[in-house]
A = this chain, B = another copy of it.
Amino acid sequence: MSTAVSPLAPTDVPEMPVIPGVKLATAAAGIRYKGRTDVLLAVMDKGTAVAGVFTQSKCPSAPVEWCRAKLGRGQARALVVNSGNANAFTGKTGRQATALTASIAAKAMACSPNEVFLASTGVIGEPLDATKFNGVLGTLAQTAAPDDWMNAAKAIMTTDTFPKVATATAKLGKTTVTINGMAKGAGMIAPDMATMLAFVFTDAPIAAGALQSLLKSGVEDTFNAVTIDGDTSTSDTLLAFATGVAAANGAPRISRASDPRLKGFIKAFHAVLADLAEQVARDGEGARKLVEIIVDGATTKKSARKIAMSVANSPLVKTAIAGEDANWGRVVMAVGKAGEPANRDRLSIWFGGIRVAHKGARDGAYDEAEVSAAMKKPEITLKVALGMGRGRDRVLTCDLTKEYVAINGDYRS
């Protein structure tokens, strides 16, 4: 188990501002880890709108089912996140654990359990002992503070090598609103941990339905365009909370996602999602290279996405990049297997901006030394031009290293 921070970790970590209407607190409840925090409580003002998107897994975790069931009301007062145990594949006891956690939090907050949102990350298949939250959540509700963002991001980590936060501001009407986000990614040193959790908070007064629309469209080219190994967790959760406190400062209340006054907000919201998603890719297990895959000239954007994902998830492409080898033959293979319209004789491929294949054959003009130098960089862009149409897409991934196998091939302890 390596504890070294990923070499791809961002060097610029932002100062996280407060979000009016949001307070945070963390504790060490001893869910699984020792000597570190493993519970986060986020306390939101009355009137906070909530939206969420979740794993597409047919076997979702109990907290995912809980959140889905409560989302229709659109109101949130508390978010409880624990690390160390995913409360997934735990049957009836899993459902009982979510209900108990929500009821403990509701008591601490004097709100309804229906206003409590939950997320868990950690081992699959072990019962989560929710009685550990007794007392803990009551204390956290009393001590929650508006400026504890970095500690919050740390409490939700499992085997992430660095905490992931992002922030942005936007004008809503004439009022400046703030968006803060945090995420945990795909660090999976202990087995069964494969959860992407992200939480975004804003003081903008945006109704739940509109927030849901923004989240759904925002996730498409950010979190949904990241892949580490093509394996989808049972617990992936992205929740957005809008406290609406900025309305007191004159921000207009927004009820529809199509409201033109949202223009600047949407841009900032997407920037926060994109920043967090990129940090997830930067912290992929064993990652030594951040890889951006751009596909253009596909028949549609959807087709470009499918081809980009086929390249991003190909073990042969990923191991070649780990070996700093501009192996375009494997890229051809991955394009070919995607099953989308492609014509070998129109295909061109670039590594790090250098064209290595053109119109169905090796590009005779490229300089091997120049390509080698490009492949040694920690960030590599791989571009595929199909010459079929105007469809374009971009996904982020990382390389596949021996460290990935070591991390995930260790015995369960």
Please give the residue numbers on chain A whose beta carbons come within 8 Å of chain B beta carbons, in ascending order: 55-60, 88-91, 93, 123-126, 188, 191-192, 194, 229-234, 313-316, 319-320, 322-325, 327-330, 332-345, 347, 357, 359-362, 400-402, 404-406, 408-412
Contacts and interface: CB of A to CB of B under 8 A. Distances in A.
A404 to B, nearest CB: 7
Contacts of A405: 319, 322, 400-402, 404-405
Contact of A316 (B188, B320, B340): B188
Contacts of A340: 58
Contacts of A361: 89-91, 93, 125
Given A57-B337, A59-B335, A229-B316, 16 more contacts: A58-B335, A58-B337, A59-B333, A89-B360, A124-B330, A125-B332, A125-B357, A191-B330, A231-B333, A233-B333, A315-B400, A319-B404, A319-B408, A320-B409, A324-B411, A325-B412
Given A123-B329, A329-B89, A405-B401, A232 B336 contact: yes
Describe A's contact surface by its main secondary structure: loop
A55 B191 CA distance: 35
Contact of A58 (B191, B330, B339, B360): B339
Copies in the complex: 2
Contacts of A343: 58
Given A89-B361, A315-B230, A315-B404, A410 B323 contact: yes
B411 A323 contact: yes
Nearest to A65: B344
Contact of A359 (B91, B329, B330): B91
Contacts of A334: 231
A362 B58 contact: no
A99 to B, nearest CB: 17
Contact of A191 (B322, B325, B339): B325
Nearest to A193: B329
Contact of A333 (B124, B319, B347): B124
B336 A58 contact: yes
